[in-house]
Structure 1
């Protein structure tokens, strides 16, 4: 059976193992998390877009991350929700749908790295070259950096999946919670050397670039802060850098944890849950971290809720006066 090439376009996907007793709680929890991710991230994008005072490079670049987080969560979570009440033996997916999901998941991961890289560059210019910030980080530069982040990830993932879909298939079962590149090329019995080389090479380039650029950026910022005697400037630099670094560390932890756990057979089921954390934890925490740490953004969010309360109070007063 392993050496037989299947022409069928339907493959089986194991997904998350959820007991019948845990199906409803797992569904409700995952649904609430997904709703929060979409509302918080899209809400911040709408707020930044509509509020002219927030049309600054830092917040516009943050929109990239929010859009990418909403995209990544949408590519994975809805299908997981649909599979919760489906028996493992009856979970099937079309091959083309699996390829699309794999592309989306890797595209989200790659874009997460590239977006955080350009956000680190923005912080570097703002802190180390404040007098030149307005001339360097123009709207045109923001568009170029944002486009470069998305295009670089798109090209890298397109080549990655292109090398995989060229393979013939001799298996029909995916054991991961969702489709990814490794799951797809493991369906083949052909020589996978090229896939392994490119997959490892692209991962090293993306990870190395993000780690190297962010480490260099923060090293330069640290040196500048040590030389500066301005406590106010150092405090603001520490606040913005701590926020960005926290987001980056969360992304690294949630992406590396499943890789480590999958290497231990006894942790296989826990590794499946951990692999979903990348599209759950980071997208849910990122808007909270930035919303709480960025003073101007936090004030705008509070003003929106405060404004709604004021409007509700006015409506109540008018309604009371009308009835009197």
Structure 2
């Protein structure tokens, strides 16, 4: 299709890991292993929370929602990346690219908001324990979880529509998926408004939730320090340790990717940074909640013990 003095692009090609051609089979095996472990870990967490009544609490309800969201988040990116690594087509249509970008951003923003919601849950549980069952009842939890999905995908649709209203004059996406800034680089004209919009959405999806979590943890730590016994302080903080670890991993990796100037990284370095929050973080989340959370480990032992009796 021609528009003005240029031909509008309708298909793109992923550069992927072409600079590591001799290592692509190794990368495929590593990423496939991580992906299978990610799916398995999230499936175990969701199943445990559903089966074990000890985990039927708001904290673990939000954890199960996060695990489901992380599963779909990985599904949007990794299978196509794996296909490219073993020689399948590196091309993608404009419509398919828009779809991938929309779902990737939707689940990514939702995950950020869910982590903030989990921080709020810990704040209410520790700072207002007597009213916790009333404030965080099941209906409220459903409404809050639904709200973060609506907010996440609303921001995503704004970003996707604004991005794909542009005209594109280049075909090579210097990435392994349709990441926003890599797609914007293909536009015929420098999209200043889109760059501003991307920054605003990044602030709403990363900075605002991280500030909210920081404030909740200041209040949580203040409440914990008022507990008389050292054992009580340790036990109370242990309920936050897994969430805090995941928050640091998640927001740390994403912030480096979206707030560090692209000019400071080569394309290979930028892809490596992107791998941390598209491949590594979803894998580490269930690992952290499995290894650092006593209640989840106890639930796993109870379920395994029940099965061994049959």
Q: Indicate whether the TM-score tops 0.5.
A: yes
Match of 2:138 in 1: 139
Secondary structure at the aligned position of 1:168 is classed as: coil
Match of 1:218 in 2: 217
Cα distance 1:193–1:19, how it changes in 2: closer, same or farther (>3 A)?
A: closer
Match of 1:264 in 2: 264
Contact 1:261–1:270 (CA under 8 A) maintained in structure 2: no
Match of 1:57 in 2: 58
Contact 1:258–1:274 (CA under 8 A) maintained in structure 2: yes
Shift of 1:268: 2.6
The unaligned stretches of length 5 or more in structure 1 are 312-324
Contact 1:170–1:187 (CA under 8 A) maintained in structure 2: yes
Residues 167-176 or 301-310, more deviating: 301-310
Cα distance 1:24–1:172, how it changes in 2: closer, same or farther (>3 A)?
A: closer
Contact 2:9–2:169 (CA under 8 A) maintained in structure 1: no
Contact 1:14–1:173 (CA under 8 A) maintained in structure 2: yes
Q: Matched residues in 2 for 1:20 and 1:159: separation? A: 36
The unaligned stretches of length 5 or more in structure 2 are none
1:124 aligns with 2:123: yes
Cα distance 1:40–1:229, how it changes in 2: closer, same or farther (>3 A)?
A: same
Q: How does 1:175-186 map to 2 (within 5 A)?
A: 175-186=174-185
Cα deviation digits, residues 146-168 of structure 1 (max 9, x gap): 01111111111111111111112
Cα distance 1:19–1:167, how it changes in 2: closer, same or farther (>3 A)?
A: closer
Give the TM-score taking structure 2 as reference length.
Answer: 0.91
Match of 1:281 in 2: 280
Q: Matched residues in 2 for 1:92 and 1:225: separation? A: 54
Q: Matched residues in 2 for 1:128 and 1:211: separation? A: 19
Q: How does 1:1-324 map to 2 (within 5 A)?
A: 5-17=6-18, 19-86=20-87, 91-190=90-189, 192-259=191-258, 260=260, 262-265=262-265, 267-311=266-310
Shift of 1:190: 3.6
Q: Over the residues paired in the alignment, what is the CA RMSD in angstroms?
A: 2.2
Aligned pairs, number: 307
Runs of 4+ in 1 over 4 A off after TM superposition: none
Secondary structure at the aligned position of 1:12 is classed as: strand
Contact 1:6–1:171 (CA under 8 A) maintained in structure 2: no
Give the TM-score taking structure 1 as reference length.
Answer: 0.88
Q: Matched residues in 2 for 1:85 and 1:291: separation? A: 32
Shift of 1:143: 0.5
- Bigger radius of gyration, 1 or 2? 1
Q: Matched residues in 2 for 1:8 and 1:288: separation? A: 42
